[in-house]
Chain A
Amino acid sequence: MSRRRSLTLAVGLTLVLIPAVAVIVSFFWLPFSPDDTSGGRLAPPGDGHLLGTDKLGRDLFTQLLLGGRIAFATGLGAVGVGGVLGVSLGLLAGFATRWLDDAAAVALDILIAFPTLLLAMLIVAGAGASLGTAILAIGFGLAAVVARLTRVLVKQVLSREYITAARVAGISWPRIVATHVLPNIGPVVLVNLALQTGLAVLAEASLSYLGLGTPPPNASWGRMLFEAQATVLTAPRAAIAPGVALIALVIGVNLTADGLRDLADPTRRRSR
């Protein structure tokens, strides 16, 4: 792999792993208790508070770590849901023939027509705002995109000669799926899922900003940004920190996905 591409992957992984490690550590140790309101409103950094305090007197850095938990949970959770659901649907659609296939293609196009964020908003509207609902809602939104990709890939694989050969040799469909289809579509789908992770994290932040995501007092970066708006001129820290964290994580995820894509298919001359 070229030096530039390995640099991409390295930078990406760093940007992802640092917060990941911080979040894992946060389950065992936090600088301050999340409910500790003794710090004084909007205090500047100092006194053990790395980034100062928020308007309730809670340590901003601790809140940032808690928000990181939600970001990772949503990113991984939504992609997990979307991946499993999407691949399953895509497999079924890939095997469908003629009019069923047409119908599947149309259905998927419609589902994709609902922008992920809006589909998520709709689901949250009914099921109530919580981390679980947000993960499921964003996951459903992603599933359609994954399903469409999987369908196209499955059709490509199914048209190859070794599949016909395997069928002639009497191998059952489930085994063919396990041994030929999945391994062949795997890398591309995984890279696509990696790319969707960034979108999932941003979608959760947007939902929380609108008040439709993880409800307070749980700090999600999106929610923290919403609350920081009121003090953006007097204490910009509270608005900058979650924003930077969010951007860094999403860049990291995207770069990692790009790097993985180049790893998966080194014959491609370009990086996307």
Chain B
Amino acid sequence: MEKYIVKRVLAAITALGLAGVLAACGGGDNKDATSANTGAAVIQVGSVYEPQNLDNTAGGGQGVTEALNGNVYEGLFKLTDTGAVEPLLARDRKVSDDGLTYTFTLRPNVKFHSGKALTSADVKASIERVTAANSKSARKSNLEVVKEITTPDDSTVVVKLKQRSISFVYNLSYVWIMNSQAKEFTTTEDGTGPYKLGEWKRGSTLTLDKFDGYWGTPAKNAGVVFHYYTDATALNNALLTNAVDVVTNEQSPDALAQFDSNKAYQVTNGKSTTKLLLAFNDKVAPFNKVEVRQAISSAIDDKKLLSSIWGDYGTPIGSMVPPSDPWYEDLTSVNGYDPAVAKQKLAAAGLPNGFTFTLDTPNYDPHPTAATFIKSELAKVGITVHINTITADEWYSKVYQKRDFQATLQEHVNDRDVVWYGNPDFYWGYRNPQVTKEIDQAEQARTTDEQTTLLKKANKTIAEEAASDWLYLYPQIVVASSKLSGYPINGLNAQFLAYDIVKN
């Protein structure tokens, strides 16, 4: 008897549920939610880079730059989508003749989202957060050149450097100016940007609302919602079903075919700075021999790898420098694909019968694919590769911190990062005192031309000595609904400036 009652109740619940579903199916989506006062639309952005937390000095990751850089937080300077450095919160700057003292005058009448006014104390505190001992900022080592910061008055900041640093202003574009009096930054924010943080649902969405008290030109849309997915297919499906309007960085070359021929979407191919590297441990045999590294570089057909992963997209590169850096030159012919040369070099290095090594491969795309390809290419010249698949944090502790590896695959996102080859303690252990000197000198150059000449020279050496094997430059593909305009297409250094996006 009880069973019958139970069954009836359950039937009732289901009936209600079904009714609800049917109602919902007709309900449609309210993605074109318009804000009550301005009539502008809310942009739905899809990405696979969810921030770990909201603080870029506490390991927030690539996602925090994408969501917050330029949108919620601003720096003294900003990096535009075309790679130019423009003043933002710093109205002007003066540099002393010896290049060691920078004086910045702050823009007046700037307020944080909490209402507090921007002062030089906030700037000082923000820079010091990046250089602090427990900072996990990616720019920490770049800013170690800062000796002292003083604030003679509320709108002036004076920074003294230990030595000349021609990239200093450029590096400052990455420093978020945060309210020095705010309590915590991992789950909340207090910046000066055109958006303030709405709600952050971990694993799901991050909402930015337009900030009405913004000092500059207000955002062209009413807000942005970042939708996060853990894999590229789910993200593309969301775009296909119009759950999102734009994908910040298309990860899946296979899915492009669906969008290329579809008039409802536009696919743009911008300039990326992400390079896929086959990084050798230059300190460890046999990779401590230049000929061996050159041999491997010559044995792998980078163009074929690129086209098998990305088809017609992506760019071949011959060094660590992407085309958007001022000191770029085309070095793809250096140690270019030539298996015969590879075999000769191996013999010259005393390994005519090849050798065996372990390739530590991160387990996420495209590394396993690239590893498989490399294995089969190197087999043709007698080199046997053991693929050891590891997770991202294993890579971080085993390869990056402990340097316990022979060779590894990794993607490097930043621009202007050829300078890491000047540091013999970097994880790949490349040591060339001449190169180190040239890179140091470049940083202390007085003009950008001088810097460019020096870095070009250093880069050529690095490429010729095959310090690493630079497999290809990722394409920077943004796929958006045709109704959208004003979105960034280059995504330099993973930022996604959302304030110009308009939905028609």
Contacts and interface: CB of A to CB of B under 8 A. Distances in A.
Interface in B358-385: 363-364, 368-369, 371-373, 375-376, 379
B33 interface: no
Contacts of B364: 211
B308 A234 contact: no
B149 interface: no
> Number of contact residues on A: which range applies?
20 to 34
B373 A56 contact: yes
Interface of B: 231-233, 236, 252, 254-255, 257-258, 308, 311, 363-364, 368-369, 371-373, 375-376, 379, 387, 389-391, 394
Given A41-B308, A129-B389, A231 B368 contact: no
Contact of A42 (B233, B254, B373, B391): B254
A156 B363 CA distance: 49
A228 to B, nearest CB: 9
Interface string A216-237: 1100000000100111111000
Nearest to A33: B376
Given A36-B376, A129-B391, A216-B369, 4 more contacts: A35-B376, A226-B231, A230-B233, A234-B254
Contact of B311 (A41, A211, A230, A232): A41
A180 interface: no
A57 B371 CA distance: 14
A230 B394 CA distance: 27
A88 interface: no
Q: Which 9 A-B pairs have the closest CB atoms?
A: A215-B389, A216-B368, A35-B376, A229-B233, A217-B372, A230-B254, A231-B254, A230-B252, A230-B233
A6 interface: no
Contacts of B258: 233-234
A59 to B, nearest CB: 13
Contacts of A232: 233
Interface in A27-49: 35-37, 41-42
Interface of A: 35-37, 41-42, 55-57, 128-129, 211, 215-217, 226, 229-234
A216 B373 contact: no
B239 to A, nearest CB: 13
Nearest to A234: B257
B205 to A, nearest CB: 22
A215 B254 contact: no
Contacts of A37: 308, 372-373, 376
Nearest to A35: B376
A56 B308 CA distance: 6
Contacts of A129: 363, 389, 391
Contact of A231 (B255, B379, B390, B391): B255
B1 to A, nearest CB: 27
B303 to A, nearest CB: 14
Contact of B372 (A42, A56, A233): A56
Contacts of A42: 254
